[in-house]
Amino acid sequence: MEKKRMQLIPNIKPRIWHGSDYFPEQWLSDPDIFRQDIELMKKAHCNVMSIGMFAWSQLEREEGVFTFEWLDHVLDEFEKNGIYTFLATPSGARPAWLSQKYPEVLRVNANRVRNLHGARHNHCFTSPVYREKVAQINEKLAERYAKHPAVIAWHVSNEYGGECHCDHCQSAFREWLKNKYQTLDQLNHAWWTTFWSHTYTDWSQVESPAPHGESAVHGHNLDWRRFVSDQTIDFYKHEIKPLKAANSDIPVFTNFMNVLGYTDLNHAKFAEVVDFVSWDSYPTWHAQTDERELAASIAFHHDMYRSLKNGQPFLLMESTPSTTNWQGVSKLKRPGMHALSSLQAVAHGSDSVQYFQWRKSRGSSEKFHGAVVDHVGHENTRVFRDVEQLGDTLEKLSDVAGTTVDAKVAIIFDTENRWAINDAQGPRNIGVKYESTVLDHYQAFWDAGVSVDIIDMEKDISNYKLVIAPMLYMIKPGVGKQIEQFVEAGGTFVATYWSGIVDENDLVVQGGFPGSLRKTLGIWSEEIDGLYDDQTQTIKVTSEAGKHFSDTYTAHEICDLIHLETAEALASYGEDFYAGRPALTVNQLGSGRAYYIASRNQGPFHKDFYNQMISDLEIDKVIDTDLPIGVTAQARTDGKHDYVFIMNFTTDTQNLNIPNKAFIDIENNAPLSGDIELSPYEVRLLKRKVK
Ligand code: GLA
Ligand code: GLA
């Protein structure tokens, strides 16, 4: 079936965007640099630059005194040269005069100490003054540039993050809570404040969590996380008002980050107010010989960011063309890795490859961060050639723009569940490992070359064949029912230990775990055993489990002690006082099935378990072949054609068999089938007609 292409930028010929963050304001004293940059951008097949994200002090040198001539010149020259712009609002860093005159714009930390001027992202999202000043500069930019032909989208601020605990934020937090709970009694109940005599008797007693104050009330911490995320989104909404008012056709977006290092935002909510999603990816390539897990964790992010807006392509907004300067070690990308990691993003749904940064600056903290143009100032460098060559490849992929990924498998990775699970003092305070557990499940599909969506718990799941929810500790209202109906209607659901434990306020479910999933899973979880790092448990699999399973596996870290209700056991524990108790179960409900994995299992368990699912449920692999370890295949589709990316993330030459004759090699437009060889880090770009 033909699918509608989703074009992110209206009225402009679809393409894969290629470009960079660019800071022409750093070079205003040397106009030659800008002239050279334009020529180099064209040579590198760059078609869009993100500019202005830290240019506030060059746009408004004194309060109310605006200078736009330099930016006019940049945009006009871009237009003449066929280069487009993601024009940024400058709120990510503010001028010194602003902090000096209005100290309330500076952030207050959890310890209630206000920051001094400096760095960036050092502002309060609530401060009326900051909001006013940001609205004003955004209005000026919008008035002047919202209809400029070079401007194709607004890059709103930069990597929103962090929190502020000033008095303005305390009042806003209390308002947020009043709105949510209406009465203090309801707040006291939801936070279970009778514990340790923490009951509030007046709203004014409620304040944000603090290291030297309240930090032990889980519902309080969770609501603070929600408030901070909501307040950031509210600030973003404030920022885009003048932009949309000036020209509602220009899309607005902001750039998100790697969620393994960064947990402040609920992206599922943020996605509702951006026209498209973008993110900044900085993998630590070559830190380890085996890069399979790292490659899969980046793929996971791409899949998650694509899934945020239901399969709409996203943009890779930043990546380094060579090294960063902030990781422990600034390792150069080995030959081949630039194209591989860039095309990996496109394979998973990105309609761009963008860099930080175009040209290395001369001073300050990012002067040694990788860039397309090095301090030497010309194009005769390895990095520039890599970028130029990739630009040429991206031009051949313009048909891919706007296509999506057709996934029949979804993994639930939920931000609020994550906040709650990581705050709970529970079965294993030395590592409950929600994030890496989700990635372990994901890895099995990456290895097999099966497309996966990564979704939050409230997304509609009715179109998937298989939905996996590792450690769904918190279950929000309605979610248990949605999963039950999905299974009854024929879907397959997989859950694990430490699921169905608390409600949306982190209050523990009464009457037996896994709460609202109990009927679906057909089990009761009575106790959970935490294991020390050097302890293991054996899992013995029955012959009914399926041909992909081995007889035994090793479990570690967490073992759930469950009772069968309507489910049957496919495996049992082999040791300790719970030997013989079920370790893996399946429950038939309506026309579907629900599996429960009771323990955290090592090594090949997930691979075998999911290969069994893939074969039982007839889930399509991107290529119907066994991929060598470290090689994956991903595909995008418009319903008429599939665009297939085969990627070798190893330093070895790999061989695989392309089983049917339907493929065309995009780079040379020739048919391709049978045994093929992939060199180290090679990507093959193929196309096939949809059957
Ligand atoms: C101490 C405290 C108790 C309780 C336990 C938990 O003994 O007195 O209130 O917190 O620790 O182990
Ligand atoms: C982030 C920021 C950029 C730059 C890069 C460096 O992604 O958005 O401004 O600092 O990191 O890697």
Q: In this structure, what token pair is assigned to residue 129? A: 């003054």
CA 564 remoteness from chain centre: 36
Distance (angstroms) between ligand 1 centre and the Cα of 529 equals 20
> What are the pocket residues of ligand 2 if the criterion is a CB atom closer than 6 Å to any ligand atom?
158-159, 280, 282, 318, 324, 356, 366, 369
Mean pLDDT of 300-305: 98
Question: Can you give the pLDDT at residue 660?
Answer: 77
State the chain's mean pLDDT as an integer. 97
What is the per-residue pLDDT for 659? 86
- Cα–Cα distance, 611 to 605 (Å, whole number): 10
pLDDT band (50, 70, 90) for residue 4: confident
pLDDT at 223: 98
> Are 5 and 638 within 8 A, CB to CB?
yes
- Report percent pLDDT > 70 for the chain: 100
Asked whether the beta carbons of 46 and 83 are under 8 A apart, the reply is yes
Quote the ligand 1 centre to 422 CA distance (angstroms).
21
What confidence tens digit (pLDDT) does each residue in 554-605 have? 999 999 999 999 999 999 999 999 999 999 999 999 999 999 999 999 979 9
pLDDT of residue 1: 62
Alpha carbon distance 540, 584 (integer Å): 9
User: What are residue 412's phi and psi, to 5 degrees?
Assistant: -85, 120
Mean pLDDT is lowest, of 16-30, 558-572, 653-667, for: 653-667
Amino acid at 358: W
State how far the Cα of 218 lies from the Cα of 577, in Å rounded to an integer: 33
Q: Does residue 281 register a pLDDT over 70? A: yes
Per residue in 66-97, is it b (16+ CB within 10 Å) or e — as a string?
A: eebebbeebbebbeeeebbbbbbbbbbbbbee
Position 479 scores a pLDDT of 98
Cβ pair 623, 646 in contact under 8 A: yes
Cβ atoms of residues 389 and 54 within 8 Å: no
Ligand 2 mutation pick, 257, 320, 324, 366, max ligand atoms within 8 A of CB: 366
Question: For 137-165, how does the pLDDT look when each residue is reduced to its tens digit (9 = 90+)?
Answer: 999 999 999 999 999 999 999 999 999 99
User: Could you report the per-residue pLDDT of 105-125, keeping only the tens digit for each?
Assistant: 999 999 999 999 999 999 999
Instruction: Supply φ then ψ for residue 219, to 5 degrees.
Output: -65, -35
- Read off the tokens for 100: 């000096």
- Going by CA atoms, what residue is nearest to atom 7 of ligand 2? 280
- Mean pLDDT on 436-453: 98
Distance from the alpha carbon of residue 205 to the mean position of ligand 1, in angstroms: 26
Which residue has a Cα nearest atom 3 of ligand 2? 356
Which of 159, 214, 239, 291 is labelled catalytic? 159
Decide the pairing of beta strands 492-496 and 592-597.
parallel
Residue 569 has, within 13 A of its CA and on its CB side, a CA count of 17
Q: Which 8-state DSSP code applies to residue 272?
A: G
Closest ligand to the CA of 319: 2
Q: Is 610 helix (H, G, I), strand (E, B) or coil?
A: helix
d(C-alpha 442, C-alpha 444), whole Å: 5
Contacts of 94 (CB under 8 A, 6+ apart): 56, 57, 105, 123, 130, 133
Tell me: pLDDT of 653 over 70.
yes
Q: What is the pLDDT of residue 486?
A: 98
CA atoms of 89 and 53, how far apart (whole Å): 6
pLDDT of residue 3: 75
Ligand 2 atom having least distance to the Cα of 326 = 12
Our answer to whether residue 682 is catalytic in this structure is no
Distance CA 428, CA 431 (A): 6
Per-residue model confidence (pLDDT) at position 662: 85
Closest ligand to C-alpha of residue 284 is 2
Q: List the one residue out of 622, 618, 617 whose CA is nearest residue 684.
A: 622
Determine whether 318 is an active site residue.
yes
Checking if the pLDDT of 58 tops 90, the result is: yes
Band (494; pLDDT cuts 50, 70, 90): very high
What pLDDT score was predicted for residue 144? 98
Convert the pLDDT of each residue in 247-280 to its tens digit: 999 999 999 999 998 999 999 999 999 999 999 9
Percent of the chain at pLDDT > 90 equals 98
Query: What pLDDT, on the 0 to 100 scale, is given for residue 38?
Result: 98
pLDDT (0 to 100) of residue 52 = 98
For residue 197, how far is its CA from the centre of ligand 1 (angstroms)? 14
Helix (DSSP H) and strand (DSSP E) numbers for the chain: 17, 27
pLDDT at 661 over 70: yes
Please identify, by atom number, the ligand 2 atom nearest to the C-alpha of residue 159. Answer: 8
- To which residue do tokens 């699921």 refer? 499
Which helix or strand (DSSP H or E) is residue 318 part of?
strand 315-318
Per-residue pLDDT, 202: 98
Side chain identity, residue 118: G
- Rounded distance from Cα 456 to ligand 2 centre (Å): 26
pLDDT score of 226: 98
Cα(44) to centroid of ligand 2, in Å? 21
CB 299 within 8 A of CB 450: no
Ligand 2 atom nearest the C-alpha of 53 is 9
Q: What is the position in ligand 2's atom list of the atom closest to the CA of 257? A: 7
Average pLDDT of span 61-90: 98
Which tens digit of pLDDT belongs to each residue from 190-240?
999 999 999 999 999 999 999 999 999 999 999 999 999 999 999 999 999
Contact in structure between 319 and 372 (CB atoms under 8 Å): no
Q: Please choose, from the candidates 218, 596, 619, 264, the residue with its C-alpha nearest in 3D space to the C-alpha of residue 421.
A: 218
Of these residues, 291, 318, 435, 557, which one is catalytic? 318
pLDDT bracket for residue 75 (50, 70, 90): very high
